[in-house]
Structure 1
Amino acid sequence: MAQPQTLLLMLFGDFVLDRGVSVFSGSVIDVCARLGVSEHAARSTLTRMVNRDLLQRRRAGRRMYFGLTERSTAILRDGRTRIWETGAVNDRCDGTWTLLSFSLPESWQRQRHDLRSQLAWAGFGPIQGGLWIAPGEVDAQQIVGELGLEAHARVFHARAGALTDIGALVRDAYDLDGLARNYAEFLARWDGPPPLTDPLAARLSLIAEWLHAIRRDPRLPVEHLPAEWPAVRAQKVFRELETASLAPARAIAAGLLDVI
């Protein structure tokens, strides 16, 4: 089960993003009740999200409403791209790889940590030392630029030579067992009898758990992955359930959410 903050982000991403509206706190609490989250936990989560610049308060009379911030809008748009546009299965790779090499002073531990975190989020895996690789053409220059590390990194776009065993390289650079385990856990919960009968609660949980499964997936070329890669089945299950849940969940949300 996803954490309350993640579920609320899914709520705002599904029914508030790009609408320019705020949601009454009582409506949010009603949705949380459908998800098995107590009123106290819901209110605490809303407060934490405001403190983390994920939500902003807006008072109207005696009522408190919550809307998205620039930060949460960017996070949700990125998630939307990963879920509905990019997908989890890379079956159209043209053989191009992005290589990034960097060399940072030993004392720059924070900068090294930040760079590695950003690279992992962007789909990179370490080959050796300061050399990382990602499938396709990734805008790695933007990553190092935002961290102020342009003078310490080099970016290349290349294709593997005939002597390079891409399958072995992928196994060395990425935690394939961990990636597969995320999809296996998703399938164990959703590929069968529905774990939740409430359409709105089921939809928010489904999207939250799918995002958890794909968020660290670098979308490696499927031809270089083990046979029966679980992302293929998991993506099919997700898309079928997401499509089926859309209309009933929206009907419930329309009657439940008080927005301004």
Structure 2
Amino acid sequence: MEDDDILDTSDSADAADGGPAPRPQSLMLAFFGNHVLDRGEVCVYSGSIIDVLGRVGVGEQAVRSTLTRMVNRGLLQRQREGRKMFFGLTPQAVRVLEDGRTRIWTQGAVNDDWDGFWTLLGFSLPDSWKRQRHDLRSRLAWSGFGALYSGLWIAPGHVDVSAVVAELGLTAHVKIFHARAAEMTDIEQMIRDTWDLESIAARYVAFDKRWTAHLGSAPTDDPIGTRLRLVSEWLWTIRTDPRLPARHLPPAWPARPAQETFHRVAELTASPADSTALGLLETAPLR
């Protein structure tokens, strides 16, 4: 299982408002990341989870099937308290959520402080290792790498993916270097050849348009639902963006205004969503 599978937030169809249609699992993880992760070792009553996800259009049956699927994938653990079933995070889910939180709240979408170094990762896998190749490429893409050539991937800055490679059991098949580009290298052209800048930019433009319109509309009566949609869509927006150096991107790159809009809506919904969650969630200590 790859982090990009876990954190992918869109189905093939669009939502009614023209944005990406969030998967129940992504909304579930956004819920646990926003309202459970920082509470320590607690688990949440399934009825509370059904209530919260119902606010973003996920039906009870879909919530229950998603909970079961996430237990089977090692992301949640069940715990019975009397006649009620509670769900808590596994260590794997905590790692995924903390990684996502760093990506969203700490790193940000704009890279103004690039030091000129690139991380290069070369690999050679047997032709029969299709699943391992897919897993490695998926994890590299989530970590900000793009395919410079078939077996040579590149990411801006010093990116430590040694743990990812080790987890996949591919350490012996991978070589990692940190280097600067020679003066003859056209970095802007290299970036255009390696990453789909038009697609990345389009996501930022669409996000900014939708959520700027939200800021100009009447205040929502459901901050917890708004925040779940906001975080899920922002993660979908940034997940294909490797945080390329700003000085080598096209003028007026749309990541900055989109990020500012994200933080404005996040700030407006943070306190009301937390207050709603405190009154809504039934929790128990995780055993």
TM-score, structure 1 as length reference: 0.93
Structure 1 residues 157 and 14 mapped into 2: Cα distance closer, same or farther (>3 Å)? same
1:16 and 2:36 correspond: yes
Q: CA deviation at 1:118?
A: 2.1
1:35-74 equivalences under 5 Å are 35-74=56-95
Are the aligned partners of 1:100 and 1:140 in contact in 2 as well (CA < 8 Å)? no
Give the match for residue 17 of structure 2. none
Give the match for residue 9 of structure 2. none
Counterpart secondary structure, 2:42: coil
Q: Which moved more, 1:110-119 or 1:50-59?
A: 110-119
Letter in structure 2 aligned against 1:12: F
Structure 1 residues 129 and 47 mapped into 2: Cα distance closer, same or farther (>3 Å)? closer
Letter in structure 2 aligned against 1:17: L
Letter in structure 2 aligned against 1:258: E
1:1-260 equivalences under 5 Å are 1-18=21-38, 19-194=40-215, 197=220, 198-260=222-284
Structure 1 residues 149 and 8 mapped into 2: Cα distance closer, same or farther (>3 Å)? closer
Q: Which moved more, 1:29-38 or 1:206-215?
A: 29-38
Letter in structure 1 aligned against 2:255: A
Q: Which moved more, 1:228-237 or 1:114-123?
A: 114-123
Q: CA deviation at 1:140?
A: 3.7
Structure 1 residues 145 and 69 mapped into 2: Cα distance closer, same or farther (>3 Å)? closer
Rounded to whole Å, the distance in 2 between the matches of 1:201 and 1:13 is 14
Q: CA deviation at 1:52?
A: 2.0
Q: Which moved more, 1:134-143 or 1:209-218?
A: 134-143
Counterpart secondary structure, 1:192: helix
Q: CA deviation at 1:236?
A: 0.5
TM-score, structure 2 as length reference: 0.85
Are the aligned partners of 1:100 and 1:132 in contact in 2 as well (CA < 8 Å)? yes
Rounded to whole Å, the distance in 1 between the matches of 2:195 and 2:51 is 41
Letter in structure 1 aligned against 2:237: A
- Please list the CA deviations of residues 207-234 of structure 1 after superposition, one character each: whole Å capped at 9, or x if unmatched: 1111111122111001111111111111
Counterpart secondary structure, 1:64: strand
Equivalences, count? 260
Rounded to whole Å, the distance in 2 between the matches of 1:142 and 1:259 is 33
Structure 1 residues 214 and 24 mapped into 2: Cα distance closer, same or farther (>3 Å)? same
Structure 1 residues 247 and 98 mapped into 2: Cα distance closer, same or farther (>3 Å)? same
Rounded to whole Å, the distance in 1 between the matches of 2:157 and 2:62 is 42
Rounded to whole Å, the distance in 2 between the matches of 1:147 and 1:61 is 39
Letter in structure 2 aligned against 1:170: I
Counterpart secondary structure, 2:37: coil
Q: Which moved more, 1:44-53 or 1:55-64?
A: 44-53
Rounded to whole Å, the distance in 2 between the matches of 1:230 and 1:70 is 35
Q: Which moved more, 1:135-144 or 1:61-70?
A: 135-144
Letter in structure 2 aligned against 1:54: L
Rounded to whole Å, the distance in 2 between the matches of 1:152 and 1:114 is 14
Structure 1 residues 221 and 31 mapped into 2: Cα distance closer, same or farther (>3 Å)? same
- Please list the CA deviations of residues 156-201 of structure 1 after superposition, one character each: whole Å capped at 9, or x if unmatched: 1111121111000000011112211221221232122358821110
